[in-house]
Amino acid sequence: MSKNEKPKLLLDWKTGKRFVLIGGILVSVAGGGIFAVQSQANAADAATLKSAFPTPPLDTTVNWENNKPLYYEVDQTGKEYPKPQLLLGDGVTPSWCLGLGIPLPNNSTTAQADESNKLFAKLNGDQKAIINNVAYLGRKEGGLEGYAEAQHAIYLLLDEAGISVNQAKDVVVKSNTLLQDANKIKDGANKLISQAKNMRKLPSFNNSTIELIQGVEKTVTDSNSVLPNFPYTKNNVDGLTMSTNGNDLKLKAGIKTKHGTINNAVQMKNLDNNIPDNYIPWFIFSTDGDSTGDKSQTVLATQDPSQAKTQFNINIIGLGELKVTKKSENTKFDASLMAGAEYSIFYKNGTAVKWSDGQSGYPISVTNGTKANNTNAVLKVGTDATFGVKNLPNDKEYYFVETKAPAGFALDETKHTFAFDENSSFNSATSNYHVDGESKEKPTGSTSLVKYDADTNNTDTQGKGDWDGIVYGLFYTKDDTAVKWTDGIKSLPIAITYGTKDNDTNVELKLDKDNKVGVQNLDLSSNDQFYWKELRTSKGYSLSTKHIPVDFTGKEAVDVSTNDFGNNKEAQNKALALQLQWWKAQDVNGSLTGLDGAGFTAKPLEGTKGKPVTVFSKSTTDANGFTKNGYTLFDGKANTDAGNASPDGLAWGDYEIEETTVPDGTQAINPFTVKTSVDVDDKGTPKAYKIVIQDTVTGQVISSSSINADKVTDNNILLKLDLGTITDKPTEKLKPTIQTQAHSKDGDKIIQVNEVSEKTAMYDIADFTNIEKGDRITSKLHRLVTDKDGKVTSDKVVQTLKFTADDETVKSQQHRFDTTADTTKDFDIPDGSTVTYVFTEDIVDKDADPDTGKPEATHDDLKDKDQTLTVEKVTPSIDVEKANAKVPDAGNGNHTDKDNNIGVNDHDTEDTYFEVKPKAETKIFFRGTNNGNEPLNHIKIVDKTTNGSVNIKGMTFTYNDKKLTVNKDGEFELDGKLLVLQPKESVIGSGTLDALPEGELHGDKVTIDGIGVYSKKHVSDADKWYGKVDEKTKSIVEKITGSLPKTGEGKAALGISIFGVALLGLAAYLKRNWIVSTYRKTVRKIRK
């Protein structure tokens, strides 16, 4: 830089950027606080520095006019000194003496700007500034009066500072002085001193921290009443607005303003913004080459008041409030029903918001609903179906999620995200930015049905009837389609409350021991009208096709046992009834004549409930008006007259009918029995009813009837039978008959897997007619193997049982054949084949040859289902599930489960990974389940990492709380033996996943294998789990760094540029005072 060039300092006060123009290069000066280097400027710099007065000449003279004193100063000795007005060589700029009694050699004495003047150097910074302000105010006031007041004030201030040789004690005026009012000079001087000191006073909020709530305008009053002295401001905060009115400062922060304390947020100056910090507005001149101020007078000139700066910090509080309204997806259910639901608020990263997370003085608090947890922000919904909070820090992102559903509604598992921005409304009442939310609830319903006897109006059955096997289905009213198990809500599937499942697809249930069926968790959001319908009935009861409506209105009470809106129903079935009639006759010389007055009693046999029913033969009139005697009728009236329930006849069952009142001169007819039986399908549902009426003396079958079960759908009259005319003369004996019912050990017709053994128990009950004592009965057990096409590939008799009828057999007309068979080989058959066991019987007359006699009756149909037992097919299956947080439930297994099948802690896909907390371990749980019907062994579980660098460690497994060991083949053992996992049993395991690297997706896959104990079939399943620590948001520095060039000269050049600018800024900042001094000295040398 040549000696004629001067550094120019430029300041953008609004942005705080500082620049120094050196040698034609504009260099930015970085840093805060002190703004820039300052220099005295001449007229050429006027465009840069906007001063109140022009810059005075720096190498000049001090001039005054002879014999024109303004007034006289009187020192401590009483000596008087004339005080003329002093002007610099430009004839314009006033200057003031700093040493009372120090001479000026002549009225045009040389003067040089001199920062090393020893007299002025004795003053501290504040004293210098006040003296300058006095001079500035005197110059601003103008005129001789202003000059004189300023001169006297400067002497007083120098005296106050204790550096003056002579002290100013008074002011006098004389006839030769230009001013004539001494008191005015003195009063004016005192006033100037007061004003000058006041100009150094800072506002009352200087260096304080002012708290601002975003969105709320705050007025801060300067109690020092000097705010108007600082008209020039610098706002260093984005989103902050400010204004002044007198001594009131108004501040308002927007929602984008950064939270927390911001130091030096606003800076205010008394000088124009283009005037840099540390600017020195005064000029000290040593006269006649005397820098001491002792021999020649030191004078002062000024062009601006002394610079004063104030600044203050702000503490930004940003508040946000949330109000959520809950609604039902079905408007029949009033919003008030939402009361009691609980919601938790979380930060975006999944961390729970705590009540203590509020900003100082502004705790997070409830606005709607009530607090449900004293630590975390959990709220309970009120009766107005709302919940809300205020004073959330509004610079964060959140979500709310339901953690407890209201009674009668499914849990809303949606993560409802929310945040606050400039589009958020502002609630001036709470000083919070406001966000509204909504959560829709699915109402859920439960329904049950209890079955009653229509006549007893309770669960007591009549006759021989029972409730076994009754099945009800649930249907949608709108289209008569069946409700499916999968129609429930994903997180809350339809579940059974009463009864047992009878269909894996549709909601069909078999009555339980309390005669009930029921389900819960019906989704009522779009369908709220259903009906129950009987699909299968039981023995002794009619099938009803009546629809039993289940219509939800929204007014139902919540069933506490299911947490659903309950809608419970009753159904009634009619007991099947028999009606019998005949004509009682007597044999008179070969003619049969009707006989009145004979009494007949129908007595229930063992196994048939009811009271004996007695009727009498009587006269009746036929359709042609003729009277007939001996009419006997067992109908509903006779039954109820006897104290029984059915008004339709004798309840289905077994009875013995005997003539109990015999008219004189006649003989009682032989007693006869009414025996009933039922043919059922493979599910136990009646297909046909058989009624046999038999003479108990002769064994003669009087009547045998078979009625299809469909005849008694919506009709309970099973049979109305006219036996014709009955006399006491017996008829010829009929041949015997056989009916059989085969059973496995537990009474059904299936040999289940758990019944398989070398001695599997089974039995056959044979019902006879006309069997006589001594008759020989043979029962054979056949083992049949039938292929997938229905062809019998093997028929082998595995047991032969022989029995001779005894008195008990004759009386009961029944016998039970018990036997066993080896069923352990029944799974070793071709695929698709079936093993059945079939009983056959025959009866040989007691008088026939036991070996060659022809059977009187046989029952040898190998396709008869009544005498057939089927070996249950083994379906080995295994399932494994894996989850965090808790041991998962079992799935379907054998690789059939859909992803995320077990709910909230299941993370089976990369897209549904678990958000792992940074630097945290994650506990992983396993469940391996035998969900087939065959025991399994050779159980093996293996877990492998598929994604990422971290493995699950420390895996252990237990069975029934006993720790399992692993053999050399990796298979589970218990007490040193291979584990045999029975159907529906599980092994439970756990392990630990160490902290994951940030942003790395972890994935692992667990597999399970097993082998069927009987079938030897291999089964397996697998499940995956994914977790990840989400990447944190990059800081501004990271983002900038990421945007820089990464190769070649561009990167190097940019780095050098940034480094160079930083060095220049640092140098300017540290050396500002040195530069000022050097610059001034350089200017003086140039002028010389």
Instruction: Provide DSSP, 395-442.
Output: TS-EEEEEEEPPTTB------EEE---TTSEEETTTTEEEEEEEEEE-
Looking only at the bridges linking them, the beta strands covering 564-573 and 444-453 are parallel
The Cα–Cα gap between 237 and 240 comes to 6
The Cα–Cα gap between 446 and 564 comes to 5
Q: What integer is the mean pLDDT of 678-699?
A: 92
Is residue 1078 in some structural domain? no
Give me the pLDDT at residue 64, please. 95
3-state secondary structure of 314: strand
Q: Are residues 364 and 244 in the same domain?
A: no
The side-by-side arrangement of strands in the sheet containing 878-884 is: 878-884, 922-930, 986-993, 952-959, 962-963
Query: What percent of the chain stands above pLDDT 70?
Result: 89
Residue 689 has pLDDT above 90, yes or no: yes
In one-letter notation, the amino acid at residue 1051 is K
Q: What integer is the mean pLDDT of 163-176?
A: 96
Q: What integer is the mean pLDDT of 354-375?
A: 96
Instruction: Give residue-wise pLDDT tens across range 590-601.
Output: 667 788 999 999
Q: What CATH number is given to the structural domain containing 863?
A: 2.60.40.3930
Q: Would you mind telling me the total number of residues written for the chain in this entry?
A: 1088
How many C-beta atoms lie closer than 10 Å to residue 17's C-beta? 14
Is residue 596 in some structural domain? yes
936 vs 1060 pLDDT, higher one: 936
**Helices of type H across 718-848:** 807-812
Q: Are residues 557 and 586 in the same domain?
A: no
Instruction: Give residue-wise pLDDT tens across range 381-413.
Output: 999 999 999 999 999 999 999 999 999 999 999
Is residue 1054 in some structural domain? no
Give me the pLDDT at residue 276, please. 84
Residues 6 or more apart whose CB falls under 8 angstroms from that of 616 comprise 596, 597, 598, 599, 600, 632, 661
Give me the pLDDT at residue 487, please. 92
Q: What CATH number is given to the structural domain containing 349?
A: 2.60.40.10
Is residue 598 in some structural domain? yes
Instruction: Give residue-wise pLDDT tens across range 322-331.
Output: 999 999 999 9
Q: Are residues 622 and 595 in the same domain?
A: yes
Q: Are residues 906 and 974 in the same domain?
A: yes
Give me the pLDDT at residue 702, please. 87
3-state secondary structure of 493: coil
Residue 579 has pLDDT above 50, yes or no: yes
- Residue 645 and residue 634 in contact, taking contact as beta carbons nearer than 8 Å: no
Q: Are residues 305 and 449 in the same domain?
A: no
In one-letter notation, the amino acid at residue 198 is N
640 membership: H or E segment, kind and range: helix 636-641
Tell which of 695, 726, 757 closes a domain: 726
Q: What CATH number is given to the structural domain containing 914?
A: 2.60.40
3-state secondary structure of 149: helix
Tell which of 519, 548, 572 closes a domain: 572
**Residue 114: which of 307, 303, 282, 294 has the closest Cα?**
282
37 vs 1009 pLDDT, higher one: 1009
For the question of whether the overall pTM of this predicted structure is more than 0.85, the answer is no
79 phi/psi in degrees, rounded to 5: -75, 140
Q: How many CA atoms lie within 13 A of 454 on its CB side?
A: 19
Residue 165 has pLDDT above 60, yes or no: yes
Q: Are residues 774 and 854 in the same domain?
A: yes
Residue 112's alpha-carbon distances to 7, 120, 549, in angstroms, are: 21, 14, 113
**Residue 940: which of 1006, 997, 881 has the closest Cα?**
1006
DSSP 855-906: PSEEE--TT-GGGEEEEPPP---EEEEEEESSPPPP---TT-PPTTTT-TT-
Is residue 1038 in some structural domain? no
- Residue 304 and residue 135 in contact, taking contact as beta carbons nearer than 8 Å: no
Instruction: Give residue-wise pLDDT tens across range 468-498.
Output: 999 999 999 999 999 999 998 888 899 999 9
Give me the pLDDT at residue 734, please. 59
Is residue 117 in some structural domain? yes
Q: Are residues 112 and 256 in the same domain?
A: no
Q: Are residues 285 and 266 in the same domain?
A: no
Instruction: Give residue-wise pLDDT tens across range 28-49.
Output: 232 333 332 223 333 334 334 5
**How far from chain centre, in Å, is Cα 24?**
64
Q: Are residues 830 and 947 in the same domain?
A: no
- Residue 531 and residue 548 in contact, taking contact as beta carbons nearer than 8 Å: yes
Q: Are residues 595 and 719 in the same domain?
A: yes
Split into its structural domains, the chain has a count of: 7
What does the DSSP 8-state code read for residue 747?
A: S
Tell which of 572, 607, 633 closes a domain: 572
3-state secondary structure of 183: helix
Q: Are residues 296 and 361 in the same domain?
A: no
Residue 373's alpha-carbon distances to 151, 322, 392, 393, in angstroms, are: 75, 18, 17, 19
- Residue 880 and residue 1023 in contact, taking contact as beta carbons nearer than 8 Å: yes
- Residue 165 and residue 101 in contact, taking contact as beta carbons nearer than 8 Å: yes
Q: Are residues 35 and 167 in the same domain?
A: yes
Domain with 796 in it: 737-871
Instruction: Give residue-wise pLDDT tens across range 728-755.
Output: 654 444 578 898 899 998 889 999 888 8
Is residue 732 in some structural domain? no
Give me the pLDDT at residue 38, please. 27
Residues 6 or more apart whose CB falls under 8 angstroms from that of 595 comprise 584, 585, 586, 617, 629, 630, 663, 666
Is residue 182 in some structural domain? yes
pLDDT band at 425 (very low <50, low <70, confident <90, very high): very high
Residue 217 has pLDDT above 50, yes or no: yes
- Residue 324 and residue 398 in contact, taking contact as beta carbons nearer than 8 Å: no
pLDDT band at 845 (very low <50, low <70, confident <90, very high): confident
